[in-house]
Amino acid sequence: MAEFTMELNDEQKEVRDWLHGFAADVIRPAAAEWDEREETPWPVIQEAAKVGIYSLDFYAQQYFDPTGLGIPMAMEELFWGDAGIALSIVGTGLAAVGVLANGTEEQIGTWIPQMYGDVHDVKVAAFCSSEPDAGSDVASMRTRAVYDEAKDEWVINGTKTWATNGGIANVHVVVAAVDPELGSKGHASFIVPPGTPGLSQGQKFKKHGIRASHTAEVILDNVRVPGSCLLGGKEKLDERLARARERAEAGAERVKNAAMATFEASRPAVGAMAVGTARAAYEVALDYAKTREQFGRPIIDNQGVAFQLADMRTQIDAARLLVWRASWMAVNGKPFTAAEGSMSKLFASETAKKVTAQAIQILGGNGYTREYPVERMHRDSAIYTIFEGTSEIQRLVIARTLAGMPIR
């Protein structure tokens, strides 16, 4: 087990500086354009593929960093560049992780390369879980997958929403209920291959922020996929469902807590995204305060402005500390006895909203215009308190954990 440290090693520093350079030289100059266009920034994704950032190998290397700091470091630097473009670059990873976590070796080898494509023909993938009536309440999922034994096919029907890359993806990973009576324990994940009949894009959402990231509904109308597209295989699914049916209520609560622990482990990465956006806004505000003069002196000489900047920097550093702690714990198998994953996501996401709002205030009228990036950063920051569990859900998880109550 790696010791917890706040000091990056030489290799990590090299990766951080490389990512920062890409964010500064490639992502940030394109941010305003793709925010206005509200389209997937394919040229930027292709540039990321050329240098090796848009690849499973890169994220696997960061994920398996024994210090736990690889992923949060990478997320912070990319989202420092721009949240919308960064989400377009890392969004495929959501689907890839779904396959890595649940798939067989054959499924991993077959489908993950198709998610990314290559530097000459980049592809994206989509992870489809949320539904119009099942966001935080995953047990209410209505999408159904029914097994057609005669043809060894699964027939999927339902509507997914808020899917990053939904409808434009080469490969979709779809979560569906195979035994609705078991609630969330009766769910399974399926690969929907490219060009499968019955899958279509529904509404594309015009969003408040992260506009360069494609978000849409995915409609599944009698979508048929081969039995081999059930992640993990049918034998494993049947065994899991049988255990769930036999489990006593106490055991069921235990399993729900284990599942929640999996979600907990992914939340620090979102916290790191929020830290990146907050840091970017703070740096703009700091530079502006040092150069903007009013009444014959820089506005940073004004105690009201200087104290705001002091609070902003303190909150950003505190958020990063929580994210790094939770990331280290997750990689090293430390239990989240106080919902530390949710703590990191909650504090970092709320910090991003607050810091970006303060940045606008420091820039005054300029901050309210699109001539300066803090306006966009503030719009982007709103998503962090919503996806991967709202701030209200994070507080609920933390409170129930502290009280020793089961997490539902």
Tell me which residues are annotated as active site: 388
- CA dihedral 157→185→335→381, nearest 10 degrees, is 30
- Nearest Cα to Cα of residue 74 among 102, 55, 101, 95: 55
Contacts of 35 (CB under 8 A, 6+ apart): 82, 84, 211, 212, 376
**Beta carbons of 352 and 279 less than 8 angstroms apart:** no
d(CA 384, CA 402): 23
- Nearest Cα to Cα of residue 270 among 389, 116, 124, 131: 389
Residue with tokens 């709103």: 382
Q: Which residues of 173-205 are buried (b: 16+ CB within 10 A; e: fewer)?
A: bbbbbbbeebbbbbbbbbbbeeebeebebbeeb
Angle between helices 303-331 and 340-363 (to 10 degrees): 160
Hey, which residues does 122 pair with through a beta bridge?
Answer: 117
Q: Where are the beta strands (DSSP E) in 178-269?
A: 187-192, 199-204, 215-226
Query: In Å, how far are 126, 341, 384, 387 from 269, measured between CA atoms?
Result: 18, 9, 11, 12
Diameter of the chain by CA atoms?
A: 82
Contacts of 44 (CB under 8 A, 6+ apart): 26, 27, 30, 34, 85, 88, 89
- Nearest Cα to Cα of residue 378 among 345, 352, 348, 349: 352
Q: Where are the beta strands (DSSP E) in 256-383?
A: 293-294, 297-298
**Beta carbons of 371 and 288 less than 8 angstroms apart:** no
